[in-house]
Structure 1
Amino acid sequence: MQKIIMFVMLNFISALGFSQGIKIIDKPITYDSTRVRLSLEYLKERHGIVQKTPTIQPKIIVLHWTAAKTFSSTFNAFNSAKLPNGDRKDIAKVSSLNTSSQYLIDRDGTIYRLMPDNYLARHVIGLNYCAIGVENVGSADFPLTDAQLKANEELVRYLAKKYKIEYLIGHYEYTKFKGTSLWKETNPDYQTGKNDPGVDFMQKVRANVKDLNLKGAPAK
Structure 2
Amino acid sequence: MRYQKILCLILFCSPLVLSAQEIKIIDKPIIYDSTRIQLTLQYLKDRHGINQKTVEIEPKIIVLHWTASKTMLSAFNTFNKPTLDGGRKAIAGASNLNVSSQFLIDRDGSIYRLMPENVFARHVIGLNYCAIGVENVGSNDFPLTKEQLIANEQLVRYLSKKYEITHLIGHYEYNQFKGTKLWKETDPNYQTGKTDPGVAFMEKIRINLKDLKLKGASD
2:131 matched residue in structure 1 = 131
Aligned residue number for residue 63 of structure 2 = 62
How far apart are the structure 2 equivalents of 1:15 and 1:173? 33
Query: Any stretches of 5+ residues in structure 1 without a counterpart?
Result: none
Task: Check whether the contact 1:4–1:53 (CA below 8 A) recurs between aligned residues.
Answer: no
Write the distance in 1 (CA, Å) between the matches of 2:191 and 2:215.
22
SS at match of 1:17: coil
Q: 1:143 to 1:68 in 2, by over 3 A?
A: same
1:116 and 1:63 mapped to 2: Cα distance? 16
Distance 2:95 2:198 in 1: 27
Q: CA RMSD, aligned part only?
A: 1.2
Distance 1:3 1:151 in 2: 36
Residues 212/179 of structure 1: CA separation in 2 closer, same or farther (3 Å cut): same
Work out the CA distance in 2 between the residues paired with 1:72 and 1:178.
Answer: 34
Q: TM-score, normalized by length of structure 2?
A: 0.96
Partner letter of residue 26 of structure 1? D
CA distance in 2, matches of 1:190, 1:213: 30
Residue 17 of structure 2: aligned partner: 18
- CA distance in structure 2 between the partners assigned to 1:19 and 1:122 by the alignment: 25
- Rounded to whole Å, the distance in 2 between the matches of 1:59 and 1:4 is 27
Give me the whole-angstrom Cα distance separating, in 1, the residues matched to 2:2 and 2:184: 28
What's 1:185 paired with? 185
Instruction: Count how many residue pairs are aligned between Structure 1 and Structure 2.
Output: 217
- What residue is the counterpart of 1:163 in the other structure? 163
How far apart in 1 are the matches of 2:44 and 2:156? 25
SS of the aligned residue for 2:16 comes to helix
**Alignment match, 2:142:** 142
Please state how far the C-alpha of 1:13 moved relative to its aligned partner.
2.2
Aligned residue for 1:64, secondary structure, equals strand
Contact 1:25 1:111 in 2 (8 A): yes
> Structure 2: which amino acid aligns with 1:9?
C
Structure 1 stretches of at least 4 aligned residues deviating more than 2 Å after TM superposition? 2-8, 11-16
Q: In the alignment, which residue of structure 2 is the partner of 1:73?
A: 74
Amino acid at match of 2:198: G
- In structure 1, what is the Cα distance between the partners aligned to 2:191 and 2:16? 37
Determine if contact 1:15/1:116 at 8 Å carries over to the other structure. Answer: no
Specify the alignment match of 2:36 in structure 1.
35
C-alpha separation in 2, matches of 1:169 and 1:207: 13
Q: Distance in 2 between matches of 1:15 and 1:60?
A: 22
